[in-house]
Amino acid sequence: MSNEIVLLGAGYAGISFLNTILPHIPADVHISVVDRLSNHTIKPEYYALASGSLNETKIKAPFPVHKQVTYINDEIEEIQVYNHKVMCKKNELHFDHLIVALGCVDNYFNVPWAEEYTHSIQTFGKAMQTRKVIDALLPDNHVVIIGGGLSSVEFASDLREQHPELNITMLERSNEVLPTLPERIQRFVRDYLDDHEIQVLTNISVTMVDDKQVHYSFENRSIPYDVCVWAAGIKPNPISNALLAYSNPDRMNRIVVKDNYELPYFKGIFVVGDCASSAFAPSAQLSHLQGKQLGQYFLSVWQNREYIPEPIKLKGVLGYLGKKTGFGMVSDNVILGKVPHVIKSGVLWMHKHHIG
């Protein structure tokens, strides 16, 4: 295996890869890590940046320090597969091996003007911008959140605690919030949202967003907003689209990879995290495990061992409802109330304090 590895993205998958290999990295290998941020960030808490309940320092963790790793703070713009190059805003990097761990971006599903007029909790910068516009709102102003999934529910309930003076509405396309979770969780969460005066409109298919209103298909109606936040779907980071010529997309446009996360039709390029195809939905947990497995693959090559990946097993889903209660599924059991909140805080705390 040649010696210059370029790692794009120091999020959940990228950091997990680094933490797996660094204790055993051969002396002649060098890694360049490129990220637009100069810290690792706890992305599952971006909603709390936007609502204002967490200060940005609380969601940052230092990158692991190692003499064979160089961190490059830059905006990645293009992967040139055939030239073995990555073009960034300020740098041009050559790679022998490339690891793409660039996460995902909002998917606007071609809804006209959604990208232009809505705010986001999908990147650190966008979540901070969302916080700014929310802070500038007046009592009785209206925040409309498009999407009724995990991050929307967490954001809405946290926003309610931070801003009791605001009106909050969630718009969900299916007939209940958290459509992929069991009915018991849906009912519990819905009762919580009702009790906390968060209006939920279901069966809403958004057709257009303009500068003042969200339009939706049900009887061609619209709902006015002061701030509108899009949390209705994600897609792989479009920079990874350059790799599709050497693979295939799955139904979420994630890149199909081999067992060792390498592209099927180009040697030496690996994809992990939200950009990589999997039987599971994208999550921090999945990205962490994929980064670890990729690290184990690199170690097996360096140590001349066979690579036998273990099947990926996820522990479950956990969600916050404000700062005291929550919901979740752990080993197929539904848990509601204080316990899932405490477990989730513990998981995120452990992650943050075992990075550097």
DSSP states of 326-356: EEEEETTEEEEEHHHHHHHHHHHHHHHHT--
Among 111, 193, 239, 355, binds ligand FAD (CB under 6 A): 239
What's the maximum distance between 2 C-alpha atoms anywhere in the chain? Answer: 66
What is the rounded distance in angstroms from the CA atom of residue 145 to the CA atom of residue 168?
A: 8
- Under the binding rule (CB under 6 A), the answer on residue 274 touching ligand FAD is yes
| Phi and psi, residue 325, nearest 5° | -125, 175
- Under the binding rule (CB under 6 A), the answer on residue 283 touching ligand FAD is yes
Identify which range of 79-87, 99-107, 212-220, 221-229 contacts ligand FAD by CB under 6 A.
Answer: 99-107
Q: State whether residue 189 is helix, strand or coil.
A: helix
Among 19, 22, 36, 52, binds ligand FAD (CB under 6 A): 36
Q: What is the footprint of ligand FAD within residues 178-217 (CB under 6 A)?
A: none
Among 6, 33, 76, 86, binds ligand FAD (CB under 6 A): 76
Q: State whether residue 95 is helix, strand or coil.
A: coil
- Under the binding rule (CB under 6 A), the answer on residue 86 touching ligand FAD is no
C-beta of 101 vs 335, nearer to ligand FAD: 101
Identify which range of 165-173, 189-197, 241-249, 277-285 contacts ligand FAD by CB under 6 A.
Answer: 277-285
Q: Give the contacts of 301 (CB within 8 A, at least 6 positions apart).
A: 1, 307
Binding-site size for ligand FAD (CB under 6 A) equals 32
Q: What is the footprint of ligand FAD within residues 112-151 (CB under 6 A)?
A: 121-122, 150-151
- CB of 231 closer than 8 Å to CB of 155: yes
CB atoms within 10 A of CB 4: 15
The site for ligand FAD (CB under 6 A) is made up of 9-14, 34-37, 43-44, 46-47, 75-76, 101-103, 121-122, 150-151, 237, 239, 273-274, 282-285, 287
